Structures are given as C-alpha cells and as structure tokens.
Homo-oligomer: A and B are copies of this chain.
Amino acid sequence: MAEKPLIFITNDDGYQARGIRLLEKILRPLGNVVVVAPNIEMSGKSHAITGGKPLKLSCITKEEGFEEYSLEGTPVDCVKMAFDKVLNRKPDFLFAGINHGSNLSINTIYSGTMGAVTEGCSEGIPSVGFSLCDNDKEASLADCEEFVREISKDVIENGLPKDVCLNVNFPLGKIKGIKVGHQAKGFWSEDFTTSEQEGEKTIFWLGGEYHCTDDSPRADWNIVNEGYAAIVPMQVDFTAWKILDNITSRFSKI
C-alpha cells in the first residue's frame, strides 16, 4: 500500500475557525495532516510576510497522523514556517480554508487564505483554497462539505498542472454543481466611514463595495450567483503576456 500523502492545512480566519475545523475533518481520512494556522483572524492579509519581529509557534495537538499548531503570524508566514520547521519535508498537498467569506474576482488579491495557496503554488506544491461566500462566521458549511471532499480527493489522486493552483468558491445553501471559470472583472469602490479627530490625526474606518463588471457566464462571480461552486485555476505569473511585444517596442526607444 502506498504511503499516506502529507497534507498541509492553513487558513486566514485562525486555527479555531469552524471552516478549518471542517476541512481538517474532511482531509484527515485522506492522509497525514499537519495544520499551521494563525492564532487570530488574519483576513485581508494577502501575501504579507512578517519581517522585523519574531514569529511565535505553539503546538496545540500532536498525535499519530495529525498535528496542529498556531502561529502569531500571517497565513503566508504559516506556510513558510511549516515548510521549513514543522514538517520534515515539503507537503504533498496544501489546502486552505474553508474561508468564511468570498474570494471571488479581485477579492482573491486581498485574501490571506489565497495568499497561502499561491505561496504553496510558488513553491511547487499542488494547492487549493476553499471559500464559502458568506461573511457570517456561523453560516452553515453543510452544503459544501461533500464538494470539498470530492474536489480534494480528485486533487490528491490526480495532482494539478505545474504552477497552477485552484481557487474554489461556494454559494451559501444548496449547491447545483461545479463550474470551472475565470476570475471575474470587477473593482471595489471605497467608502471609509465617518472620521473623528485625534489631535492632528483624522481617523477613518475602511469600508467599500464590490462591483462586478463582467457579464461572462464563466466569470466566477456569476457562477456562484447562479448557485454553482466556482473553480478558477490560478497562476502566480502576473506578466501581461498579451501586450508584451507592444510595450517592448515602445520602451526600447527611451
């Protein structure tokens, strides 16, 4: 019998979040599981890393086939810490989430959960992020459980193309099926809430609203709004290849 795969799990909602607990439950039968997740919520931390201050690691659980740690750091810190110091080797797979909140469209760029996924991908590990499109930390995860299990099994069995990771988003409630698509075009309009003064400083709270500008039926935002789970294959090469040659002739003249 083949050795069990080494599965690494993290998230950005913190190691005590309901989403990561369910992900652990789903993945433990599929391999040896090691969790390193932030000790507190780290939503919106994107691909941030911690320089200039120490990272504190605590062991929560250590038993046959399952280890869990919390780290006073970002999700990407968790990945790097795990790969260098917690695991005896790089994991075979990285799974992140289940995130409480959408990582559709441009939102993936702000997400700590997807930061961890792209970090894993950049280090050559087949990596998948799962998100439930509801910010309520108490929202029911029941409807996505079977889909998380089946997608995870497929990735563990068949791997992923080189340099590609998956961003999986679920609608709340009954899920009609899975559709593969692309990142929807869209943007955020800012709306900072009322300011106060603190001496010379003006105080604001960040707020805003997302606007989808993509009417493609394959845009992830639209897939989820139709009641399907959206899988977007992502890469960590940000080069705008399509316009590379145009830009080349233009700036070569300077």
A residues adjacent to B (C-beta < 8 A):
41, 43-52, 54-59, 72, 76-77, 80-81, 83-85, 106, 108-110, 115, 118, 122-124, 147, 150-151, 154, 158, 161, 163-164, 178-183, 185, 187-188, 190-192, 195, 198, 200-206, 208, 231-241, 243-244, 246-248, 250-252, 254
CB distance from A241 to the nearest CB of B (A): 7
B251 engages A231 (CB within 8 Å): yes
Residue of B nearest to A198 (CB): B56
B234 engages A56 (CB within 8 Å): no
Q: What would 17 more interface pairs be, CB under 8 Å, given A76-B110, A164-B243, A183-B237?
A: A44-B49, A47-B110, A51-B206, A56-B203, A77-B206, A84-B191, A84-B192, A106-B236, A109-B236, A118-B238, A122-B188, A123-B187, A154-B250, A161-B243, A178-B251, A178-B252, A180-B244
Residue of B nearest to A49 (CB): B44
The number of times this chain is found in the oligomer is 2
CB distance from A21 to the nearest CB of B (A): 21
B182 engages A46 (CB within 8 Å): no
CB distance from A145 to the nearest CB of B (A): 14
A251 engages B161 (CB within 8 Å): no
29 contacts across the A-B interface (CB closer than 8 A):
A44-B51, A45-B46, A46-B47, A48-B110, A54-B203, A54-B204, A55-B203, A56-B202, A57-B203, A58-B200, A58-B201, A76-B110, A80-B206, A81-B190, A84-B190, A84-B191, A109-B122, A123-B188, A151-B254, A161-B246, A163-B185, A163-B240, A178-B251, A179-B252, A182-B239, A232-B239, A233-B243, A234-B239, A236-B238
B204 engages A81 (CB within 8 Å): yes
A234 engages B238 (CB within 8 Å): yes
Q: Which residues of B contact A115 (CB under 8 A)?
A: 46
Q: Which residues of B contact A118 (CB under 8 A)?
A: 109, 238
Q: Which residues of B contact A122 (CB under 8 A)?
A: 106, 109, 187-188
B44 engages A48 (CB within 8 Å): yes
CB distance from A143 to the nearest CB of B (A): 15
CB distance from A13 to the nearest CB of B (A): 12
CB distance from A127 to the nearest CB of B (A): 12
B182 engages A244 (CB within 8 Å): yes
CB distance from A213 to the nearest CB of B (A): 10
Residue of B nearest to A200 (CB): B58
- Interchain CA distance A86-B104 in the complex, whole Å: 29
